[in-house]
C-alpha cells in the first residue's frame, strides 16, 4: 500500500523562528494516528501545510502521491481548531452547502449522526451550545468519504461527557481504509483509539511508533511516555 501522507525533508520557518526542521514522515492508510506535542512544537504548522494553508520553505509533501493542491484537497477532510461556520445558518443549509462543494459528502450519513445526537437540522448554529456546535462541525467533516481526515484538537474545550460522544462520532463514521490524523494534547482521553503516535518537539519528530509496541517494549502508556519525553 502506498503512503497516504509523505513528508520529505520538510521545513517551515516564520522569519527567524523554525517551526518545522527537515522532517521526514510516511503514514499508511487505515490507521488512527495521534500527532502529539506541546504548544509551539510544530503540530499546527504541519497540519496547515497538509491542508495547503501554508507553503513550506524546503522539502516536499505528498497526499496519496499528489502534491498539496486541488487533487489532494479532494481527499482530505480537515477540522480546524476554531469555529469555521456561519452562525446565522441552519444546520440543514450548511449540509446543502457541503453537498454542493464536496463530491464525496454523504448527506445521509450527516443526517443519521444528527439524529443519533438529537440535533435538529432546522436549528441555527447561534442557538446552540458550544459543545453542540463542535459536534455539528465534526459531523460535517466525518460525513465526507475522505482518504485522510485531519482533526486539530477535536476534543479540546468540551466537557468530558461530550468528549466521549465526539470520539464515538470519529470511530463510527470514517472510511475503513482511510487514515485519521488527530492533533491533541489530551492524550489520556484518546490513547485507547490510537494505532500509532508521532511525537513532535521543537519542529522535529522525536518518536514515530505503534501504540502496541510502546506498551509491549516500554511497559508504559502513551500518556506516561509523553510526560517523560516532554517533561520540563
Closest CA to 206 of 228, 175, 174, 177: 228
Q: Where are the domains of the chain?
A: 5-229
Instruction: Please give the distance of CA 84 from its chain centroid, rounded to a whole number.
Output: 15
Going by the DSSP 8-state scheme, the letter that residue 56 receives in this structure is -
Residue 122 or 156, more confident = 122
Rounded to an integer, the average pLDDT of 203-219 is 93
The string of pLDDT tens digits covering residues 74-104 is 999 999 877 778 889 999 999 999 999 999 9
Q: Give pLDDT, residue 153.
A: 86
Cα(72)–Cα(166) distance, rounded to whole angstroms?
26
- Cβ-based burial of 33 (10 A; exposed 0-12, middle 13-18, buried ≥19): buried
Categorize the per-residue pLDDT at 1 as very low, low, confident or very high, splitting at 50, 70 and 90: low
**Residues of the chain above pLDDT 70, percent:** 99
Residues 28-68 have pLDDT tens digits of: 989 999 999 988 899 999 999 999 999 999 999 999 999 99
Q: What is the pLDDT of residue 2?
A: 74
Q: Mean of the per-residue pLDDT values for the chain?
A: 90
- Dihedral, CA atoms, 217, 221, 222, 227, nearest 10 degrees? -110
Residues 98 and 143 sit within 8 Å (Cβ to Cβ): yes
pTM as predicted: 0.92
- Residue 33 near residue 13 (C-beta atoms within 8 A): no
What is the CATH number that goes with domain 5-229? 3.40.50.300
CB atoms within 10 A of CB 28: 14
* Confidence band, pLDDT 50/70/90 cuts, at residue 197: very high
- Cβ atoms of 228 and 219 within 8 Å: the answer is no
pLDDT at 206: 94
Amino acid at each position: 500500500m502506498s503512503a497516504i501522507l509523505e513528508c520529505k525533508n520538510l521545513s517551515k520557518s516564520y522569519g527567524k523562528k523554525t517551526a518545522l526542521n527537515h522532517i521526514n514522515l510516511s503514514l499508511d492508510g487505515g490507521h488512527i494516528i495521534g500527532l502529539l506535542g506541546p504548544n509551539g512544537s510544530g503540530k499546527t504548522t504541519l497540519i496547515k501545510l497538509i491542508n495547503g494553508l501554508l507553503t513550506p520553505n524546503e522539502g516536499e509533501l505528498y497526499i496519496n502521491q499528489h502534491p498539496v493542491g486541488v487533487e489532494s484537497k479532494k481527499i482530505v477532510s480537515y477540522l480546524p481548531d476554531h469555529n469555521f461556520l456561519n452562525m446565522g445558518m441552519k444546520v440543514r443549509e450548511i449540509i446543502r452547502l457541503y453537498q454542493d462543494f464536496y463530491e464525496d459528502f454523504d448527506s445521509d450519513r450527516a443526517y443519521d449522526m444528527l439524529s443519533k445526537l438529537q440535533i435538529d437540522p432546522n436549528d441555527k448554529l447561534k442557538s446552540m451550545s458550544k459543545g453542540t456546535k463542535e459536534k455539528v462541525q465534526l459531523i460535517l467533516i466525518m460525513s465526507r468519504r475522505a482518504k485522510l481526515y485531519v482533526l486539530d484538537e477535536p476534543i479540546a474545550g468540551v466537557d468530558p461527557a461530550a468528549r466521549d460522544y465526539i470520539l464515538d462520532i470519529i470511530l463510527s463514521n470514517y472510511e475503513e481504509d482511510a487514515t485519521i490524523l488527530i492533533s491533541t494534547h489530551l492524550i489520556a482521553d484518546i490513547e485507547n483509539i490510537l494505532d500509532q503516535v508521532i511525537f513532535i518537539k521543537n519542529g522535529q519528530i522525536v518518536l514515530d511508533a505503534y501504540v502496541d509496541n510502546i506498551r509491549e517494549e516500554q511497559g508504559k502508556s502513551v500518556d506516561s511516555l509523553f510526560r517523560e519525553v516532554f517533561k520540563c
